[in-house]
Amino acid sequence: MKKSVLIAALFHILANAFGQVFDKDTIVYNGNTDKHINLVILSDGYTTGELSKFVTDATVFTNGFFSEIPYSNYKKYFNVFIIKVPSNQSGASHPGTANDVTEPAHPVSTVDNYFGSAFDYGNIHRLLVATKTSVISNVLASNFPNYDQALILVNSSYYGGSGGYYTVASTNSSSAQIAIHELGHSFSGMNDEYWAGDTYASEGKNMTKQTNPLLVKWKNWMGINEIGIYQHCCGGNSSLWYKPHQNCKMQYLGTPFCSVCVQGTIEKIHSLASPLESYYPDNTSVTATTYPLKIKLALISPEPNTLKRTWFLNGSPYTKNTDSLFLRESNLTFNINTLEAIIEDTTQFLRVDNHAAIHIYSISWSIEKGIVGIKDIAATQTEIEIDIYPNPAIDHISVRIKGDIKGDLKLEIYDLLGKRLKSHIINGPDENTIDLKDIQPGIYLFRIFKDNQIISSGKIIRQ
């Protein structure tokens, strides 16, 4: 699941050589870090004395993040952790080199912060970037290599942020909105829906040159929730590019994501975390010897829960929309039974053609019907050893009993439908031979009784 682990591994040697371990804390924990999406927030421009403020700022961002659709619906899929990285000085650098404002828009300064966060990147005043990307990678590798998305929270009251591989945001009053917009780039792979310039124009989930409503990527949303094909502004190259909405968070802060961006984000969430967190029994090959047999799913459910659960037993519908069930002996045949659970996210936020390939998950168990009570009975008969050979057999089997035998034993042979084919009294410990010539080649079940109680069972293969 963790693509970021592969990237972090590239820095593993460097991290071991000079990686520093910092204090960490948990903002949101919904479960196993291997099963959930791990958002890790790192501090920059916070001195040691300001790290408590960082915890507060990170919490404020997290609350804002999970108030936005679809993150509010899929909150349980996420963990949020923070890494408290102290800087020598407070804030972010401002070189005063931007050409999109009259500089200095705020005081020119050079700040000794840990990740090199600075405004005016690319001569754009609001473009706040953590420039020491290798340092970020080393800190993550040393402190939380199992991350999925990293956010650098910069201790500056001035408006700014950026996307890219790592999301960066200041603590301006619009910080949460900036970061959520930038995560639209870093996490969900969205394009800006304002015209950011020719350099940033490319085919994407929410940007295209296609104008045919039957072929455009968001064709399934056309005419719904104000989704259409809208030309970018400004003339020139921008007139060749189109977006799905005119008031999306990928264009304006403070507005919701459009339906196309919501869908793209959910697809990213599903690519990183399955709603099927675990299941019981965790061994999918089961021999049922006690009943009822409990089967259970542990699911990560959206809010509201849009997961449809459908159960099939031996290919036939069994039950639905339950996370657990009990199988009784009468539900199973003497064959190998197949129980399958299919989980589908039926959220109305998705309108994709290949839904079954992306948003449906399944787990199946192979269940062999055993004999009720064998384990308990056998446990009280440890003084008896039963040997059946050869197995597989051609025309006969031999049964030898070792141990303290009081009374006769009886062996019965059944087909896989439970029909009794043979019954043979085993006389004492001597070798007993049972003829199989009248039984067709195949797999059969046997039971051995003592005083009408089953003390052993198993399979016989007739070749």
Are 327 and 257 members of one domain? no
Are 237 and 211 members of one domain? yes
Measured in whole angstroms, the distance separating CA 221 from the mean position of its chain's CA atoms is 26
What integer pLDDT is reported at residue 455 of this predicted model? 72
Are 71 and 117 members of one domain? yes
- Rounded percentage of the chain residues whose pLDDT exceeds 70: 90
Structure confidence at residue 234 as a pLDDT band (50, 70, 90): confident
Which whole number is the average pLDDT over 321-326? 95
Are 381 and 282 members of one domain? no
What integer pLDDT is reported at residue 374 of this predicted model? 34
Structure confidence at residue 404 as a pLDDT band (50, 70, 90): low
State yes or no: pLDDT of 432 exceeds 50.
yes
How many beta carbons lie within 10 A of that of residue 353, not counting itself? 9
Residue 332: CATH number of its domain? 2.60.40
State yes or no: pLDDT of 17 exceeds 70.
no
* Domain end among 352, 369, 386: 369
pTM above 0.85, yes or no: no
What integer pLDDT is reported at residue 57 of this predicted model? 96
Residue 164: CATH number of its domain? 3.40.390.10
What integer pLDDT is reported at residue 266 of this predicted model? 96
Contact 241, 198 (CB under 8 A): no
Structure confidence at residue 86 as a pLDDT band (50, 70, 90): very high
Are 106 and 51 members of one domain? yes
The predicted-structure confidence for 406-429, as pLDDT tens digits, reads as follows: 667 888 888 766 778 988 888 766
| Short-list 208, 153, 158, 203, CA closest to 182 | 153
Cα 148 from Cα 146, distance rounded (Å): 7
* Domain end among 369, 388, 409: 369
Are 119 and 15 members of one domain? yes
Q: Calculate Rg over the CA atoms of the chain.
A: 32
Are 388 and 298 members of one domain? no
Alpha-carbon dihedral sign for residues 99, 101, 106, 111: negative
What does DSSP assign to residue 258? P
Are 36 and 142 members of one domain? yes
Number of domains in the chain: 4
- The residue with greater pLDDT, 14 or 306, is 306
Are 36 and 172 members of one domain? yes
Domain coverage including residue 343: 276-369
Contact 217, 205 (CB under 8 A): yes
The predicted-structure confidence for 292-321, as pLDDT tens digits, reads as follows: 899 999 999 999 999 999 999 988 999 999
Environment class of residue 333 by beta-carbon count within 10 Å: exposed (0-12), middle (13-18) or buried (19+)? Answer: middle
Tokens of 367: 């269940």
Cα 106 from Cα 274, distance rounded (Å): 46
Structure confidence at residue 388 as a pLDDT band (50, 70, 90): confident
User: What does the mean pLDDT of the chain come to?
Assistant: 88
HSE at residue 330, side-chain half, CA atoms within 13 A, is 0
The predicted-structure confidence for 444-456, as pLDDT tens digits, reads as follows: 888 887 777 767 7
Which whole number is the average pLDDT over 365-385? 56
What integer pLDDT is reported at residue 21 of this predicted model? 96
Residue showing tokens 């047999």? 293
Are 165 and 98 members of one domain? yes
The predicted-structure confidence for 126-175, as pLDDT tens digits, reads as follows: 999 999 999 999 999 999 999 999 999 999 999 999 988 899 999 998 88
Alpha-carbon dihedral sign for residues 52, 55, 56, 57: positive
State yes or no: pLDDT of 323 exceeds 80.
yes
Residue 413: CATH number of its domain? 2.60.40.3080
* Domain end among 221, 241, 271: 271
The predicted-structure confidence for 26-68, as pLDDT tens digits, reads as follows: 999 999 999 999 999 999 999 999 999 999 999 999 999 999 9
Which whole number is the average pLDDT over 276-297? 92
The predicted-structure confidence for 339-360, as pLDDT tens digits, reads as follows: 999 999 999 999 998 776 678 8
Are 176 and 307 members of one domain? no
Cα 138 from Cα 15, distance rounded (Å): 5
Cα 387 from Cα 396, distance rounded (Å): 14
Contact 164, 149 (CB under 8 A): no
Are 29 and 168 members of one domain? yes
State yes or no: pLDDT of 436 exceeds 70.
yes
The predicted-structure confidence for 92-132, as pLDDT tens digits, reads as follows: 999 999 999 999 999 999 999 999 999 999 999 999 999 99
What integer pLDDT is reported at residue 8 of this predicted model? 46
